[in-house]
Chains A and B, each alone.
Chain A
């Protein structure tokens, strides 16, 4: 049984087309821009929360690059690993598993312009799938340098040291 050459070409074109569409959809599906605005928090809002003596302080998780985290991160935030990779997502699930599902959590990355960030949306989805309900994703329009460091917001360097919470009152 054999197909005519024209049919084979059409089939090949169809498979190539659908594969391309599937790959493009997959890439677009991970874009941070698809996170609803209601789930976002702006840098200035987060700083106000961290500054306020009354506000509940979130657990802040950086789900991007370790090298970028070592250069500058939000004081008190933890590095987990890129949300775009399975290793990062596994580490995230492991870290969050023992926590109460109503814990206030803020995820952030800042590796790339928001529309290109491959990390935050997948991390957000992973935690929502675990049942976390009090979560925000930090909206970083350009990158962590431009939208956090250059704005003069507090920054820590190096790796996270557990048990030494930052003194926000002193920094701001």
Chain B
């Protein structure tokens, strides 16, 4: 009888624990996981701030964080220092952040990049790339793209940085061991 009571109590503790973990450490708002399909990230070739073309396909084999942003977007600006830090921290593990500016022209973007010491490439976006990525109709939006060129998550609005970092490190670790990437 006592054993049954203990089992019951243990079950309650486990359920309560699971509830707590999911409630407090679950997927944050604004994140839409594409875990089921992992669609291929649409390729693009866009000019960077020096007018040189940047092709997404040339980063295949790296984990890419694709950040749609604009200089006039306050939440986007708040994210930039975190992205600069992430790029520095994981550059040697093959993380590549690419900024896609949705500004109307490159002038304010150049100035901003210098001011914020952005240490990753920034290209000028357009409606075509926005539509290719499902419509960039609000900023910021960031995509985590695996080494295999597939989209693993989409973050709408300001990212939860600790969650994003865990997601990136998981991608860096998971796929470097994958036979398909050997």
Interface on A for B, CB 8 Å cutoff? 27, 65-68, 70-72, 81-82, 84-85, 110-113, 116, 118-119, 142-146, 149, 157-158
Contact = CB atoms under 8 A, between A and B. Distances in A.
B136 A111 contact: no
Interface of B: 70, 72-76, 102-104, 125-127, 130-131, 135-139, 156-157
A144 B75 contact: no
A142 B130 contact: no
B136 A112 contact: no
Given A67-B126, A71-B135, A142-B138, A112 B104 contact: no
A115 to B, nearest CB: 9
Contacts of B74: 27, 112, 116, 118
A84 B72 contact: yes
B102 A65 contact: yes
B138 A143 contact: yes
Contacts of B157: 113, 142
13 contacts: A65-B72, A65-B104, A67-B104, A67-B130, A67-B136, A82-B72, A85-B72, A111-B138, A113-B75, A116-B75, A118-B73, A142-B138, A149-B137
A57 B72 CA distance: 30
B44 to A, nearest CB: 14
Contact of A66 (B104, B136, B137, B138): B104
B30 to A, nearest CB: 9
Given A65-B70, A111-B73, A116-B74, A149 B135 contact: yes
Interface on chain A toward B: helix, strand, loop, or mixed SS?
Answer: loop
Contacts of A110: 137-138
A111 B139 contact: yes
Nearest to B126: A67
A70 B127 contact: yes
A81 B137 CA distance: 16
B75 A68 contact: no
Contacts of A82: 72, 104
A111 B130 CA distance: 13
B127 A145 contact: no
Nearest to A27: B74
Nearest to A143: B138
A72 B130 CA distance: 10
Given A66-B104, A82-B72, A112-B139, 15 more contacts: A65-B103, A65-B104, A67-B104, A67-B125, A67-B130, A68-B136, A71-B136, A84-B72, A112-B74, A112-B75, A113-B138, A116-B74, A119-B72, A144-B138, A146-B156
A145 B135 contact: yes
B42 to A, nearest CB: 14
Contacts of B127: 67, 70-71, 157-158
User: Most chain-A CB neighbours within 10 Å: which of B102, B104, B130?
Assistant: B104
Contacts of B156: 146
A158 B131 CA distance: 11
Contacts of A145: 135-138
A71 B75 contact: no
Nearest to B76: A112
